[in-house]
Structure 1
Amino acid sequence: MEDLVVVVPGIMGSRLADAEGRPVWDLSGGALTRAVRTLGGSLKDLRLPAGTGDDHPGDGVRPIGLMPDLHVVPGLWQPVDGYTGLMSWLSATFGLTPGEGLLDFPYDWRLSCRYNARLLRRRVEEALERRSAARPGQAADARVVFICHSMGGLVARHYVECLGGHAVTRRVITLGTPHRGSLDALGHLVNGLRKGWGPLGVDLTAFARSLPSLHQLAPDYACVAGPDGSLEYARDLPGLPGIDPELLADAARFHAALRTAADRADPTELHAVVGVHQPTATTARYTEDRLVPLGTIGGADEGGDGTVPRLAARPANAAGTGHPVAESHTACEQHGSLQNNPGVRDTLIRLLGQEPPFHRGRDGAGPPLGVHAPGLLEPGDPYQVTVTVPVTADRHDELALTAELHPAAGGRPVLRSLRNLGGGRYTATYPAPDPGGYRLVVRPDRTDEGAVTALTLVGGAGE
């Protein structure tokens, strides 16, 4: 492969260090609860001052690499798996040398997508120059392929669409990118970290509310039910607590600029990989100073990846503007695990110019499983998982479903068979897990075809 492949992670997906090189966001996996407790104070100190805009606050914080394992900042986003597996798979599958043909782009995810897009432009230009110098005559036609998870797709799109990156870009592939925002982001801004997690000794609500990036992840579609039941844009509802109105208005301008820039005669090839069939907050009702999420819009449950609604995982200008973006793949998978899903990787093989391995079977094989499991769990609480299967699916009420709860720190997984509740609903309950990060893998009929992975952080006792 002559092209340069660049992996852009999502929010929280980059390790951060302060001016002295001390980690402020680094530990993950099995040490995650300790990371949140010990680094939480540092993250609170990294609250951005008002007026940061599209600049760096000058506090010396810098990215130092991709997060390798399961990670989450409570009150900011849902748990996400790491990127080590994706980078290793890309290198092995396509013969790409890390740092040469394969580039990662860690960034300070607190900051505006515009700011990080400017850094991405510099990183790509330098990498292309190095690649051309190292392979004279061989890499003359080399261009860039972006593989972006979550918010990383917004960073890459701003570079490509607004900063001239389309001239060197072959295609942009997004995995669960909230092109039109996420109701979860709005909920975190408005509601804060209200339920528990006080025992963990850290509340990052004020930190989260200071971030331009989190406001840029808020829905860019009418999503909040007004007094008459009609849906309105969050930016048009004065008085929502936790919202910085200036940051939210600027986020609207950010999304509008993407739509305008992409509507040109030679649009960049964009492929949206979309998670489906997972219970996903899509709209909300504001009542008693709290945003109550709803899984429907216009009376329909369109689902999504558990974090990003299906309607938001492809650009708003996807139809009728000369910039069509089809769903390149719909994975029955949750947001935090899309980058490691086998069907998604088969799609990446196809999009990067090869044929998927035939022995893995067809994409999306197996019944569509909608998995509901807690992203954050209080210490001492039992862990309950509920799975729904559409009544239109074959054998929806006759499946033998199993769930394995894997500690991220390693150790023996706990296997449970799900109880059939009838009507395509199944459930299982685990005793209260120990503090730490967990991966729950739900399988139909004990096969890996159609398996869905949910991620959870269990809190620890207070100090």
Structure 2
Amino acid sequence: MLISELGMRRQRRAQLGTQRPVIVVPGYLGTKLKSQASGEPVWGHFGFQGVLWTAGRHLRNIAIPMKPGVSVVDLKDDLVPSGLVGGVLITYLPFLPIQLQAYIGIIHQLERLGYCGSCEVVGQANGLPSKRQMYVFEYDWRRSNELSAAMLAQFIEEKQRKISRDHQIAEQNVEFDIICHSNGCLVARYFLRYGAQPLMPTGALPSLDWRGAKGIRNLVMLAPPNGGSLEAVLNTKEGLRYFGFGYSPVVIGSFPSVYQLFPRKRHHALMGKDSQMLDPLDADFWEASQWGPFDPREDPTLSLLLPGVSSREDRLAIVKEHVQKCMSHARRFHTALDQPASPPKSLKMWLFLGKDQPTASMYKQAEDGEWTVKKELLGDGQVVATSALMDESVGGLFADVSPRSPIAWSGVMMIFAKHLDLTRNDEFVTNLSFILDDQGILQGLR
């Protein structure tokens, strides 16, 4: 009832020409991928009548090519985004489908608030459509996030020009709100800070001038892994599987973006048996521990991905070079996001995080050499609340004091929901309506 009333209020405000379009940036795995050449789906539909997760051809299709001597940003294949993953259909048998709801939830919630993804103009008032437009930014989540940020910059520029042309508004007066989830928040944060600027291979940082923030009023982040996620480390070490289907560590480890989801060393996510804190972005450690792509059991899959390489020694050398450059690039990405800077006063940054699920925060090696999750903190099951908040007191000398975040939050809302469930949570959408109406979450947070 409340959300319906908020939707009616939003439509009345839209008729006065006071509402901005919304751009939705989904998280990891949130965009379908297909072959540009053949049109064959590679991610987004699975099982008996769709993409077979474990077939060699499909493994080669989804994995990022490992090419020695080629920079991370130039590692390309012919896969292109092909729509939002509304729900992941996994089929064990032809007549037994299981639908895993993905990002269709947030689309439905925005529709309940009066947004429209399929209508260009539904009547006009003061030069603006009477329903607010909703755009979904599709991107290849496997590639480095600053490349996706550059695509987001181009995407927004195109929408600004179109709205300006269609509604006779000066381009500089066209504003948007961005709603992002999980990895999509890292893409959005980089875009706001640096626009389409690339990361320099020399280690020099791009100019932090907030060029992407022009025309953005609100950034609404759901479950962002701002401080990384141990879950990403475990998925790279062990593979990603749902109901027996999934991708091996070699495939996951080929994605440059996955390393950008790793925790920083200073946040104490990996502890050796001597209680020494380890760097998740240390390729030598991964190789010595035979983790992920270096696991001998992964060699058959590695042979599929590198069919022209005959010896395991040569294959491992290619893997090592690939992992090293991806990890080095991820460090530069982290450094770029971690640079302290105050956003423009016109930009508001809002955080919604889950804080009711025990979530892995530390992976520790026992005396016998076995690794187990040693510590859990409250979170959403994938991202701990302190990571979403980017709480720099965690793992430091002042871990018992109040949270200290370098991000200038305009408001923080804790929701009792799991990682993906946040996108369709009624409590989230109720508060979202107030944010998009420029009222803040609560009076006290304005």
TM-aligned CA distance change 1:192 to 1:289, over 3 Å: farther
Instruction: Please state if 1:328 is matched with 2:381.
Output: no
* Amino acid of the structure 2 residue aligned with 1:209: G
Alpha-carbon distance in 2 for matches of 1:276, 1:112: 28
Find the residue that maps to 2:63 and give its secondary structure.
Answer: coil
- The question of whether the paired residues in 1 share the 8 Å contact of 2:25 and 2:181 is answered with yes
Alpha-carbon distance in 2 for matches of 1:317, 1:168: 30
Task: Give 1:286 shift.
Answer: 3.2
Task: Give 1:168 shift.
Answer: 1.9
Question: Which position in structure 2 is the counterpart of 1:256?
Answer: 335
Alpha-carbon distance in 2 for matches of 1:25, 1:42: 9
Where do 5+ consecutive residues of structure 1 fail to align?
Answer: 73-78, 297-301, 357-463
CA offset digits 1:324-355 (Å, max 9, x no partner): 22662111100021101111111211211178
Q: Which moved more, 1:104-113 or 1:262-271?
A: 262-271
Aligned residues: 341
Question: Which position in structure 1 is the counterpart of 2:302?
Answer: none
Alpha-carbon distance in 2 for matches of 1:186, 1:327: 29
Instruction: Please state if 1:309 is matched with 2:384.
Output: yes
Task: Give 1:215 shift.
Answer: 0.8
Instruction: Please state if 1:65 is matched with 2:111.
Output: no
Question: Which position in structure 2 is the counterpart of 1:150?
Answer: 182
Q: TM-score, normalised by structure 1?
A: 0.65
Alpha-carbon distance in 2 for matches of 1:289, 1:49: 33
Aligned residue runs from structure 1 range 18-417, under 5 A: 18-19=35-36, 20-27=38-45, 35-37=51-53, 41-50=57-66, 53-55=71-73, 57-70=75-88, 81-98=101-118, 100=120, 101-137=133-169, 141-163=173-195, 164-192=211-239, 197=244, 203-220=247-264, 221-235=267-281, 238-240=284-286, 241-242=291-292, 244-260=323-339, 262-263=341-342, 266=345, 268-286=347-365, 291-296=371-376, 302-315=377-390, 323-325=407-409, 328-353=412-437
- The question of whether the paired residues in 1 share the 8 Å contact of 2:390 and 2:405 is answered with no
Task: Give 1:176 shift.
Answer: 0.7
Alpha-carbon distance in 2 for matches of 1:37, 1:322: 40
Alpha-carbon distance in 2 for matches of 1:355, 1:267: 14
Q: Percent identity?
A: 25
Find the residue that maps to 1:146 and give its secondary structure.
Answer: strand
* Amino acid of the structure 2 residue aligned with 1:324: A
Find the residue that maps to 1:335 and give its secondary structure.
Answer: coil
Instruction: Please state if 1:11 is matched with 2:31.
Output: no
Find the residue that maps to 1:102 and give its secondary structure.
Answer: strand
Alpha-carbon distance in 2 for matches of 1:4, 1:333: 26
Alpha-carbon distance in 2 for matches of 1:313, 1:13: 19
Alpha-carbon distance in 1 for matches of 2:257, 2:179: 19
- The question of whether the paired residues in 1 share the 8 Å contact of 2:357 and 2:380 is answered with yes
What RMSD over aligned residues (CA atoms) do the two structures have, in Å? 3.3
Q: TM-score, normalised by structure 2?
A: 0.68
Alpha-carbon distance in 1 for matches of 2:276, 2:213: 38
* Amino acid of the structure 2 residue aligned with 1:303: L
TM-aligned CA distance change 1:322 to 1:35, over 3 Å: closer
Alpha-carbon distance in 1 for matches of 2:232, 2:53: 22
Find the residue that maps to 1:86 and give its secondary structure.
Answer: helix
